[in-house]
Amino acid sequence: MLRLEKLVKTYKTGDQALKAVDLEIPEGQVLALIGPSGAGKSTLIRCINRLVEPTSGKVYLGDTELTHLSTGALRRERRRMGMIFQEYALVERLTVMENVLSGRLGYVGFWRSFLRKYPQKDVDEAFRLLDRVGLVHMADKRADELSGGQRQRVGICRALIQNPDVLLVDEPTASLDPKTSRQIMRLICELCRERGLAAIINIHDVALAQMFVQRVIGLRAGAIEFDGPPDALTPDVLTTIYGEEDWEATIEKVEDEDEIEAAE
Amino acid sequence: MPVADANGQKIWQRRSGRESLAHWLMWLIGVAVFAYCWQQISEATTWFFVQDAPRIAGDIWSRATPPKWEYITQLGKPIWDTLNIATLGTLIALVLAVPVAFLAARNTTPSRFLIRPIALLIIVSTRSINSLIWALLLIAIIGPGVFAGVIAIAIRSIGFCAKLLYEAIEEIDEGQVEAITATGASRWQVMAYGIVPQILPAFAGIAVFRWDINIRESTVLGLVGAGGIGLQLSSSLNVLAWPQVSLILIVILVAVVISEWVSAKVRGAII
Amino acid sequence: MSTHRELDDVLGKGWRKPHFIKRAWLRYTLILGFFAYLVAAFLTIEVNWSRVYEGLERGKQFILAFTSPDFATRSGDIWTGMMESIVMTVAASVVGIAISIPIALGAARNVAPLPVYMICRAIIAVSRALQEIIVAILLVAIFGFGPLAGFLTLSFATIGFLSKLLAEDIESMDRVQAEAIRASGARWMQWINYGVQPQVMPRLIGLSMYRIDINFRESAILGLVGAGGIGATLNTSFDRYEYDTAAAILLLIIGIVMALEYLSGIIRARVQ
């Protein structure tokens, strides 16, 4: 589905954010990308849809190689990749509905989008998605009136209305409280399962990642240090990714939370 | 070192010896420059007239009061012209300022080294020159009248509006722009969805603010022949019709107060 | 399941962005009124298009004049005019700023008693309501032609501008710092010097620089009404259609304004 080959990103300052990353994600797989701040998680995700231009290497989405595409062709491929952001990145002064519909921008012409005359099927789909995340009654509210969790749900709708093949998710829970974080993670993973989407989720809450995903990638200083199922994350592995620390508590906490979950 | 050692005692001073010297030197130069400027002004002044000033002021005051109220019937058209100069001038300026601002803002300019300096040059040159000078120039080119006034106000306002607007564009949240880009939107769609909604309140604020200033400026454009109530002011001054002058000044003051009130109201409604 | 009913209600129906002004009649009245005004305004502007067309040639000449500005022919006039403008700017800024500071203190409600506050606010209001050029006309009538009238005009305008903004800054300062100084038993002057001055100094310097910039730009037009400065020379050169001289003067003004902006940028960066 998505394949990265020797992806390198060197910033102008000389910092090497990614050092020849190789990665392959099969269809429908949800993958968590963990690692300390500055490990290159965010850069990796942004290099895939070229919000950040990779220095060298290749990115294949299906059979299409992305790094050499012209602007127009890149726009068409970006439609196949939905993105969800850390600070929601909703256009705050537009309404919820406009924000969701903005996911269709790659499909409609400029004047149509400018006059807000979206095809009826897009509008219906937007309402269906808003209903799925429980926000249909908020459609005409301005985005800055919403709470953090609600905003992130709108962000999810915006990504899904693109009808993507893959989701790029950048720290979806970083600005949310623990309970909302879990709800959002669960929602993303459920939706991926329903629609058979592959997803890369950047996350620094290791416990949360372990709860929801099928595969975990550990990134450290721009290189992949770990690739395996969530239960293979041992204290030793976490030490190689993050450095020395008492990891027992983190892993135990997962089990505790699972029990609470079961009790609920 | 503000703390000095003298005979084993620590003495605290606000500034060290050299700093304090430099400080005093700066003050000295400042005072000398001011003294020189004052002397220049003084040389160009006939002090005999200045001694006479209180008497002249009293004389003007007694001639100017009471204002010639019935003259107000002739001021309707000039006031309408003044309003038009300010409003149309502001509208034209806004239309022209928007593209200049987008070309000047670091995050939207197509070329940092070629186009941005040109846009900045337009901004600084239209801004540095007072609307009265623009009016003088336009009168020399296209003849006196309201039209010259509208264009003068428009040109003067481009730089002002574009400067404030491009600063607003540079302060937008890039995350929202990035999110719209990631959906596969085109360049123009990114602008319409990612950037424009963020700067719209600033834009409205700037428009009203500048309109308020332009009302003030257009009241005096007539002094050089560019239409509006300033024309009446100028002709009344020429024939020393002081009661008319005082009435016109009152009308201008009222117009300024009203425009300030309107602009404050509108800004309050937007934000 | 109320949400589902909600969904069924909206499916298949069009969606329109809610309007900024929700009341339809008000919205259409505003739009119609605006266009009616525009039409009325355009109709009452008399434009002599043949005159404008003739003017295009002169406009072209003027723009071309910028490529070959003539500093030499009237260098004497330009030099005296510019010096007079600068002299007026410097003197008026110094005097204006010096007078503004006590008035700003008086116009700050947290420093001054009520009667003083009222008087100072009244001075500010008068100074702000009167335009520079109108003040200049009156002062020229009273004091005669020359830079003295211009100097007084600029000083007067500086007071209104600077006192108002400075007073607002004093009113929004940190109370705790000022209270701490007062608690140490300081006199009023000491309190101002130690508690207030350090807090408002950066803003005072920034505003002063900005006002010097404005004063210079204004000084260029005071000559039009006989209050000294470069304006008179500029006016003459326009009257005689000497565009190359006019271009030279305008370039000098732009250059000095840019230099002042650059300088004030450096100074503001240093004090903050």
pLDDT tens-digit profile, chain A (264 residues)? 889 999 999 888 888 888 888 999 998 899 999 988 888 888 999 999 899 899 999 999 988 898 888 988 999 999 999 999 988 889 988 999 999 999 999 999 899 989 888 999 999 999 999 998 989 888 888 898 998 889 999 999 999 999 999 999 998 888 888 889 999 999 999 999 999 999 999 988 888 888 888 899 998 888 888 898 888 888 888 888 887 777 776 665 544 444 444 444
Q: Return the bridge partners of A84, or none.
A: A169
Residue with tokens 């409003």: B87
The total number of structural domains that make up chain C: 1
Q: Do C261 and B124 touch (CB under 8 A)?
A: yes
What ipTM does the predicted assembly reach? 0.85
Residue B141 is assigned to a structural domain of this protein: yes
Q: How far is A229 from chain B (nearest CA, A)?
A: 29
Phi and psi at residue A2, to the nearest 5°: -130, 130
Q: Do C11 and A128 touch (CB under 8 A)?
A: yes
Q: What is the pLDDT of residue C76?
A: 84
Structure tokens at C202: 């950066």
Domain shared by B24 and B108, yes or no: no
Residue B44 is assigned to a structural domain of this protein: no
Q: Is A120 on the interface with C (CB under 8 A)?
A: yes
Q: In what order do the strands lie in the sheet with A198-202?
A: A81-84, A166-170, A198-202, A30-34, A215-220, A223-228
Residue A44 is assigned to a structural domain of this protein: yes
Contacts of A139 in chain C (CB under 8 A): 10, 15
Q: What is the pLDDT of residue B164?
A: 92
Residue A139 is assigned to a structural domain of this protein: no
Write out residues in chain C with pLDDT < 70, as ranges.
1-5, 272
Q: Is C4 on the interface with A (CB under 8 A)?
A: yes
Using only C-alpha atoms, chain B has a radius of gyration, in whole angstroms, of: 27
Domain shared by B102 and B206, yes or no: yes
Is pLDDT of B99 > 70? yes
Nearest to A127 among C7, C16, C18 (CB): C7
Q: From CA C223, how far away is CA B44, in angstroms rounded?
A: 14
Nearest to C14 among A120, A128, A137 (CB): A120
Q: Read off the CATH number of the domain in which C219 is found.
A: 1.10.3720.10
A151 near A90, Cβ under 8 Å? yes
Q: Find, among B226, B240, B50, the residue nearest to C221 by Cα.
A: B226
Count of CB atoms situated within 10 Å of the CB of A56: 13
Contacts of B194 in chain A (CB under 8 A): 91
Q: From CA C64, how far away is CA C247, in angstroms rounded?
A: 9
Contacts of A91 in chain B (CB under 8 A): 176, 179-180, 193-194, 197-198
Residue A72 is assigned to a structural domain of this protein: yes
Residue A160 is assigned to a structural domain of this protein: no
Residue B61 is assigned to a structural domain of this protein: no
Residue A108, class by beta-carbon neighbours within 10 Å (0-12 exposed, 13-18 middle, 19+ buried)? Answer: middle
Q: Do C45 and B252 touch (CB under 8 A)?
A: no
Residue B159 is assigned to a structural domain of this protein: yes
Q: How far is B23 from chain A (nearest CA, A)?
A: 41
Q: Is B196 on the interface with A (CB under 8 A)?
A: no
Q: How far is B105 from chain A (nearest CA, A)?
A: 20
The total number of structural domains that make up chain B: 2
Q: From CA B170, how far away is CA B134, in angstroms rounded?
A: 29
Residue C15 is assigned to a structural domain of this protein: no
Residue A104 is assigned to a structural domain of this protein: no
Cα A33–Cα A191–Cα A209 angle in degrees, nearest 5 = 25
- Between chain B and chain C, how many beta carbons pairs sit less than 8 Å apart? 141
Is pLDDT of B145 > 70? yes
Q: How far is C125 from chain B (nearest CA, A)?
A: 10
Q: Read off the CATH number of the domain in which A239 is found.
A: 3.40.50.300
Residue A5 is assigned to a structural domain of this protein: yes
Cite the beta strand spans of chain B per DSSP E: 3-6, 9-12
- CB-based contacts of C261: which residues, under 8 Å, 6+ apart? B124, C213
Q: Is B175 on the interface with A (CB under 8 A)?
A: yes
Q: Do B44 and C84 touch (CB under 8 A)?
A: yes
Q: Is C17 on the interface with A (CB under 8 A)?
A: yes
Residue C180 is assigned to a structural domain of this protein: yes
Contacts of A140 in chain C (CB under 8 A): 18
Residue C146 is assigned to a structural domain of this protein: yes
Residue B164 is assigned to a structural domain of this protein: yes
Domain range spanning residue B151? 79-270
Q: Do C51 and B216 touch (CB under 8 A)?
A: no
What are the tens digits of pLDDT across the range B158-187?
999 999 999 999 999 999 999 999 999 998
Nearest to A98 among C3, C6, C17 (CB): C17
Nearest to C62 among B36, B56, B141 (CB): B141
Residue C111, class by beta-carbon neighbours within 10 Å (0-12 exposed, 13-18 middle, 19+ buried)? Answer: buried
- CB-based contacts of B266: which residues, under 8 Å, 6+ apart? B204, B208
Phi and psi at residue A172, to the nearest 5°: -70, -20
Q: How far is C89 from chain B (nearest CA, A)?
A: 9
Nearest to A140 among C4, C11, C18 (CB): C18
Residue C79 is assigned to a structural domain of this protein: yes
Domain shared by B32 and B84, yes or no: no
Q: From CA A60, how far away is CA A65, in angstroms rounded?
A: 4
Domain shared by B185 and B250, yes or no: yes
**3-state class of B209 per DSSP?**
helix
Q: Do B186 and A105 touch (CB under 8 A)?
A: yes
Residue A74 is assigned to a structural domain of this protein: yes
Q: Do B197 and A87 touch (CB under 8 A)?
A: no
A85 near A155, Cβ under 8 Å? yes
Residue C89 is assigned to a structural domain of this protein: yes
Interface test with C, best of A118, A127, A153 (most C CBs within 10 A): A127
Confidence of residue B2 (pLDDT cuts 50, 70, 90): low
pTM for the full model?
Answer: 0.83
Distances (CA, A) of A12 to A53, A262, C219: 12, 49, 47
Q: How far is A120 from chain C (nearest CA, A)?
A: 6
Structure tokens at C125: 């209001």
What are the tens digits of pLDDT across the range B27-85?
999 999 999 989 888 888 778 777 888 888 888 888 888 888 888 888 888 999 999 99
Q: How far is C10 from chain A (nearest CA, A)?
A: 7
Domain shared by B262 and B133, yes or no: yes
Residue A8 is assigned to a structural domain of this protein: yes
What are the tens digits of pLDDT across the range C237-246?
888 888 888 8
Nearest to B192 among A76, A114, A158 (CB): A114
Q: From CA C221, how far away is CA C154, in angstroms rounded?
A: 11
Which of residues B265 and B99 earns the better pLDDT score? B99
Distances (CA, A) of C200 to B104, C172, C212, C218: 32, 10, 18, 26
Q: Is B179 on the interface with A (CB under 8 A)?
A: yes
Q: Is B184 on the interface with A (CB under 8 A)?
A: yes
Domain shared by B20 and B84, yes or no: no
Contacts of B182 in chain A (CB under 8 A): 49, 51, 78, 81, 83, 168
Return the DSSP state at B105. Answer: S
Confidence of residue B154 (pLDDT cuts 50, 70, 90): very high
Residue C149 is assigned to a structural domain of this protein: yes
Residue with tokens 């510019």: C82
Q: From CA A168, how far away is CA B19, in angstroms rounded?
A: 59
**3-state class of A61 per DSSP?**
strand
Residue B225 is assigned to a structural domain of this protein: yes
* Chains near A (3 or more Cβ pairs under 8 Å): B, C
Q: Do C142 and B57 touch (CB under 8 A)?
A: yes
Q: Read off the CATH number of the domain in which B126 is found.
A: 1.10.3720.10
Nearest to A110 among B180, B189, B194 (CB): B189
Residue B192 is assigned to a structural domain of this protein: yes
Interface test with C, best of B136, B234, B246 (most C CBs within 10 A): B136
Q: Which amino acid is at B246?
A: S
Domain range spanning residue A58? 1-80+169-177+201-264
Q: Find, among C246, B151, B131, the residue nearest to B143 by Cα.
A: B151
Structure tokens at C205: 């310097």
Q: What is the pLDDT of residue B150?
A: 93
Phi and psi at residue A225, to the nearest 5°: -105, -25
Strands B9-12 and B3-6: antiparallel
- CB-based contacts of A212: which residues, under 8 Å, 6+ apart? A30, A32, A185, A186, A189
Domain range spanning residue C233? 72-271
Alpha helices in chain A (DSSP H): 41-48, 71-78, 96-101, 110-114, 120-132, 148-160, 178-195, 206-212, 235-242, 248-263
Residue C12 is assigned to a structural domain of this protein: no
Residue C49 is assigned to a structural domain of this protein: no
Count of CB atoms situated within 10 Å of the CB of B256: 18
